[in-house]
Amino acid sequence: MSAKPSGARKNRSPRTSAQPQPAQEPRGEPSLSRERIVATAVELLDAAGVDGLTMRGLADRLGSGVMSLYWHVDNKEDVFDLALDAVLDYGGPPEIVESRDWRAEVAHMLEDWRANMLRHPWSASLLPRRALGPNILGRLELLSRTLSKAGVTDADLNAAIWSLWNYVMGATITRASFGPSDDDRAAAQQRLTRLGERYPTIERSRLLLDDDWDGTFRKGLDFLLDGLAPQRS
Amino acid sequence: MSAKPSGARKNRSPRTSAQPQPAQEPRGEPSLSRERIVATAVELLDAAGVDGLTMRGLADRLGSGVMSLYWHVDNKEDVFDLALDAVLDYGGPPEIVESRDWRAEVAHMLEDWRANMLRHPWSASLLPRRALGPNILGRLELLSRTLSKAGVTDADLNAAIWSLWNYVMGATITRASFGPSDDDRAAAQQRLTRLGERYPTIERSRLLLDDDWDGTFRKGLDFLLDGLAPQRS
DNA sequence: ACCTGAACACCGTTCAAGT
DNA sequence: ACCTGAACACCGTTCAAGT
């Protein structure tokens, strides 16, 4: 809790507010900044995963000393938080289209959310630990509003949202963790076959070989939405 | 890939097979063993979380040198795998009760699974990364069998299982991550109120204050099972 | 067969300075 | 206001020995 800017909230609209001393940088590197640190952290995370992010490595990539980072950032945890929020940015509520098809709307929102996280595979497993950034709240608000307008009762609303949240998080984390290496799963499935008697059902259905991630996600989401759908008795 | 026992499969039934040299330990500490290491690792993880597990700390707790662990265990990853599998043990398929209520059966299985993971809060977020232990496979097999017997078509079976998996994982990881600190969530909810206009719907529904985890889990599971239920046209 | 200490190549972060 | 190097208290793991 010093005079460092780390804890301070950023400008509301950093893009439009003019810089106080605009003609300040004489030459060379634009020097360190919070934005640059976060952007580079995302790059590094994308390239090397959660374990690959290192304050030292981050500083190297920025061409600065390690300790210089700590002027702009509280600590490593802070870097994670900022990187996560940066990645979950979203365009805000889209045009207020009064679609009648709430199911398509919800499915689209959640597929977009998932796609965003899969573009940065480290983000999904990080998210539940720090769920409260403004971007996530915005997404939850939009989801909530859509469901409410669709006729989900107030009594069911929170359960509905958390159900969708749970489903999306579980699906995305699993997909990102099982990762691109199909070999592992093929090997696992073969192990099933070798074990023969013990797992006949999942062996027969080839559960571990299912690689239509997008289709499976959508199918399960449909199951859930079926159950969620407000009964029009 | 040396002569170390690390990679070797354990005895099929370690509890019933007699020890080769039963009267071998002359006195004192039972010395190191794979079982003791894993059990202590689980203790340490329960007490200190994922970041709290340290090879050095583990050795300390076992009263041995750090490097002694490496005789019984490949590396730290291995310790995680073993600890996770140890925690997900389950009693195998229960008595073959031919219950007609497949929904209650499935719900019970998944609630048990979730409860098991919540008893060791570090386990849930670890599981998707290493999903293939025999105990997990056993649970998936049982789930698969139950759904199949209930009338879920082969075409829907994998999607159904992955949906339930995703939901349970997401719910458990979220619950374990948000953790016992209600204060955080209360603070977050208050922040919502302060922000006022931006998140009216989730503020009104008090989404972030919902702390009936078990009830919400069950409710969402019911939504999903509603959608999953085989249509009897 | 089982255990050990020293050493290596790393970490995140504190602190006291520099400009 | 912003950046820095040295230092501290840690990590996981290799290696060459010990018994």
Q: Which residue has the higher pLDDT, B144 or B229?
A: B144
Residues B112, B80, single domain; the answer is no
How confident is the model over A167-194, as a mean pLDDT? 84
Interval A66-81: pLDDT, tens: 999 999 999 999 999 9
pLDDT of residue A191: 82
> For residues B195 and B203, what is the distance between their CA atoms, to the nearest angstrom?
10
Residues A47, A145, single domain; the answer is no
pLDDT of residue B9: 34
Inform me whether the C-beta atom of residue B77 falls under 8 Å from chain A C-beta atoms.
no
HSE of A179, CA atoms in CB hemisphere, 13 A: 11
Please, which pLDDT band fits residue B227 given cuts at 50, 70 and 90? Answer: very high
Residue B37's closest CA among B3, B2, B86?
B86
Please, which pLDDT band fits residue B7 given cuts at 50, 70 and 90? Answer: very low
Residue A205 has its nearest CB partner, among B144, B177, B198, at B144
- Contact assessment for residue B199 and residue B192, using Cβ atoms and an 8 Å cutoff: yes
Sign of the torsion angle spanned by Cα atoms B211, B215, B220, B223: negative
Residues B124, B211, single domain; the answer is yes
In a domain, A17, yes or no: no
Q: How many domains does chain A have?
A: 2
Residues B75, B111, single domain; the answer is no
> For residues A37 and A58, what is the distance between their CA atoms, to the nearest angstrom?
8
* Structural domain for A116, as ranges: 102-228
Residues B82, B106, single domain; the answer is no
Residues B162, B196, single domain; the answer is yes
Interval A12-69: pLDDT, tens: 223 223 333 333 334 445 589 999 999 999 999 999 999 999 999 999 999 999 999 9
Nearest CA in chain B to A230: B223
Is nucleic acid strand D under 7 Å from A54's C-beta? no
Phi-psi region of B60 (alpha: psi -120 to 50; beta: other; left: phi over 0): alpha
User: Other C-beta atoms within 10 Å of A223: how many?
Assistant: 24
Residues A48, A156, single domain; the answer is no
How confident is the model over A184-195, as a mean pLDDT? 79
CATH number at residue B188: 1.10.357.10
How confident is the model over A216-233, as a mean pLDDT? 88
Q: Which nucleotides of C are covered by protein (CB under 7 A)?
A: 1-6, 10-16
Cross-chain residue pair B216–A162, CB shorter than 8 Å = yes
A-interface mutation test, from B142, B147, B158, B195, most A Cβ less than 10 A away = B158
Please, which pLDDT band fits residue B30 given cuts at 50, 70 and 90? Answer: low
In a domain, A222, yes or no: yes
Q: What is the mean pLDDT of chain B?
A: 83
In a domain, B130, yes or no: yes
Interval A85-139: pLDDT, tens: 899 887 766 666 666 789 999 999 999 999 999 999 999 999 998 877 888 899 9
pLDDT of residue B19: 35
CATH number at residue A46: 1.10.10.60
Q: Which residue has the higher pLDDT, A202 or B181?
A: A202
For residue B186, list chain A residues with Cβ-Cβ distance below 8 A.
none
Residues B156, B192, single domain; the answer is yes
> For residues B200 and B148, what is the distance between their CA atoms, to the nearest angstrom?
43
In a domain, A220, yes or no: yes
Residues B166, B124, single domain; the answer is yes
pLDDT of residue A44: 98
Nearest CA in chain A to B131: A178
In a domain, B203, yes or no: yes
Q: Which of B22, B51, B86 corresponds to the end of one domain?
A: B86
Q: Which residue has the higher pLDDT, B132 or B118?
A: B118
Closest CA–CA distance from residue B100 to any residue of chain A (Å)? 19
Closest nucleotide C1' to the C-alpha of A72? D2
Q: Which residue has the higher pLDDT, B187 or B68?
A: B68
Distance of CA B48 to the CA centre of its chain: 17
Cross-chain residue pair A220–B138, CB shorter than 8 Å = no
In a domain, B22, yes or no: no
Residues B174, B219, single domain; the answer is yes
Interval A147-178: pLDDT, tens: 999 999 999 999 999 999 999 999 999 999 88
- Contact assessment for residue A50 and residue A127, using Cβ atoms and an 8 Å cutoff: no
pLDDT of residue B95: 61
Interval B63-110: pLDDT, tens: 999 999 999 999 999 999 999 989 988 766 666 666 678 999 999 999
Please, which pLDDT band fits residue B172 given cuts at 50, 70 and 90? Answer: very high
Q: Which of residues 176-205 of B touch A (CB under 8 A)?
A: 177-178, 184, 188, 191-192, 198-202, 205
pLDDT of residue A99: 67
Q: Which of residues 121-160 of B touch A (CB under 8 A)?
A: 125, 128-129, 131-132, 137-138, 140-141, 144-145, 148, 154, 156-160
Residues A128, A61, single domain; the answer is no
Inform me whether the C-beta atom of residue A50 falls under 8 Å from chain B C-beta atoms.
no
pLDDT of residue A202: 92
Residues B109, B46, single domain; the answer is no
Residue B93's closest CA among B145, B128, B167?
B145
Residue B202 has its nearest CB partner, among A140, A207, A227, at A140
* A68-CA/C17-C1' distance, Å: 14
How confident is the model over B20-49, as a mean pLDDT? 76
How confident is the model over B119-142, as a mean pLDDT? 90
User: Is residue B182 predicted with pLDDT exceeding 80?
Assistant: no
How confident is the model over B27-48, as a mean pLDDT? 87
In a domain, A203, yes or no: yes
Q: What are phi and psi of B141, to 5 degrees?
A: -60, -45
Q: Which of A59, A86, A113 corresponds to the end of one domain?
A: A86
pLDDT of residue B184: 73
Which residue is it, tokens 């009936």?
Answer: B212
In a domain, A40, yes or no: yes
The secondary structure of residue A87, as a DSSP letter, is: H
